[in-house]
């Protein structure tokens, strides 16, 4: 996998919108891949404010107030002789009828990335839209037998008996999340390598525990030749720039999630480095600037 080979693939007639974006971080190749779109009730975006306040914000952003369409983004990182998948998208839960998501396997194939070429997987957290792509029928069998799956120890422990008491999720999601996490552990448990605070998965590729969204939520920092890019998973949502204190319904510890979010946004504003998030609009490469008591999202200019 190189920037040249993955950024100029053949065009598929049935896919007329971009679904992958290649960039360089020093000597490391990075590919952002869209797993599709996850439609959810818009009120999930913030449950600690009045609905009319959230509706007003959505209207100001030219977004619908009934259903929010979350982008789903993952990374493929090539460092040395290792090919690393960061998160794995939604997969396909037929009970939830989420037809616009679960595109990762097909889009890896379209980019010329065989599943058995992936040496490592980093899971930011074990929500189904981050692990589901690894659990759909036939995927595990196509992965290499010596695959290494890196997950924070706190995350593995949490999903043995997950606590949803502080979440505000749509009906059916808690059950689906539990079942997908259970299936993931059954399939990949023997290949999981846990870490406590951080681990270097490959030269310049470090997974780092943040907590907050889930107890074991982690981010992935890519560093090479003075360049940096961080994949923040679900630490930052679209609403989080100018309303970092609003609680997302999928956050298991909303107060800690807000603390983590503000810390990261302040860091990125100071360093001016780029970051990628799971649920920001594709290709999800952003900078951040301070804007009074909050922040301002600055999308990176596409590199053609």
Sign of CA dihedral 76, 239, 298, 264: negative
Could you tell me the pLDDT band of residue 2, with boundaries at 50, 70 and 90? very low
pLDDT for res 113: 95
- CA distance linking residue 185 with residue 149, whole number of Å: 11
| pLDDT confidence tier of residue 102, bands split at 50, 70 and 90 | confident
Q: Tell me the three state secondary structure of residue 156.
A: helix
**CA 86, chain centre distance (Å):** 8
Q: Which two tokens stand for residue 235?
A: 């630490």
* Rounded CA separation 294/304 (Å): 31
Identify the three-state secondary structure at position 230.
Answer: strand
CATH code reported for the domain at 3-299: 3.60.15.10
Average pLDDT value for residue range 88-108? 76
Burial class (CB within 10 angstroms; exposed 0-12, middle 13-18, buried 19+) of 272: exposed
**3 state SS of 178:** helix
**Residue 100's pLDDT band (cuts 50, 70, 90):** confident
Mean pLDDT of 41-52: 96
Does the structure show a pLDDT above 70 at 54?
yes
Q: What's the pTM?
A: 0.93
Mean pLDDT across 110-117:
94
pLDDT digits (tens, 9 = 90+) for 237-296: 999 999 999 999 999 999 999 999 999 999 999 999 999 999 999 999 999 999 999 999
Assess whether pLDDT exceeds 80 at residue 13. Answer: no
Contact 44, 68 (CB under 8 A): yes
Mean pLDDT, the chain, rounded, equals: 92
């Amino acid at each position: 996998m190189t920037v040249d080979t993955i950024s100029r693939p053949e065009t598929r007639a049935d896919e007329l919108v971009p679904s992958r974006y290649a960039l360089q971080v020093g000597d490391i190749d990075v590919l952002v891949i869209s797993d599709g779109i996850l439609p959810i009730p818009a009120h999930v975006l913030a449950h600690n404010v009045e609905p009319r306040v959230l509706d007003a914000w959505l209207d100001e952003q030219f977004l619908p107030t009934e259903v929010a369409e979350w982008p789903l983004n993952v990374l493929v990182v090539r460092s040395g002789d290792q090919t690393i998948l960061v998160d794995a998208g939604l997969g396909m839960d037929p009970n939830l009828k989420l037809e616009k998501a679960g595109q990762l396997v097909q889009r890896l194939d379209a980019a010329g990335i065989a599943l058995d070429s992936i040496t490592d997987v980093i899971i930011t957290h074990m929500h189904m839209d981050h692990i589901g792509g690894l659990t759909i029928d036939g995927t595990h069998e196509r992965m290499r037998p010596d695959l290494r799956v890196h997950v924070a120890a706190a995350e593995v422990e949490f999903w043995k008996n997950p606590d949803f008491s502080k979440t505000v999720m749509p009906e059916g999601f808690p059950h689906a999340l539990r079942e997908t996490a259970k299936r993931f552990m059954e399939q990949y448990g023997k290949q999981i390598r846990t870490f406590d605070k951080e681990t270097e998965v490959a030269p310049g590729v470090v997974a780092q525990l943040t907590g907050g969204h889930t107890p074991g939520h982690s981010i992935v920092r890519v560093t090479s030749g003075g360049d940096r890019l961080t994949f923040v998973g679900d630490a930052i949502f679209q609403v989080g720039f100018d309303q970092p204190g609003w609680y997302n319904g999928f956050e298991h510890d909303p107060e800690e999630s807000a603390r983590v979010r503000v810390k990261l946004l302040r860091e990125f504003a100071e360093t001016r480095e780029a970051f990628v998030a799971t649920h920001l609009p594709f290709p999800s490469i952003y900078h951040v600037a301070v804007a009074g008591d909050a922040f301002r999202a600055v999308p990176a200019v596409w590199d053609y």
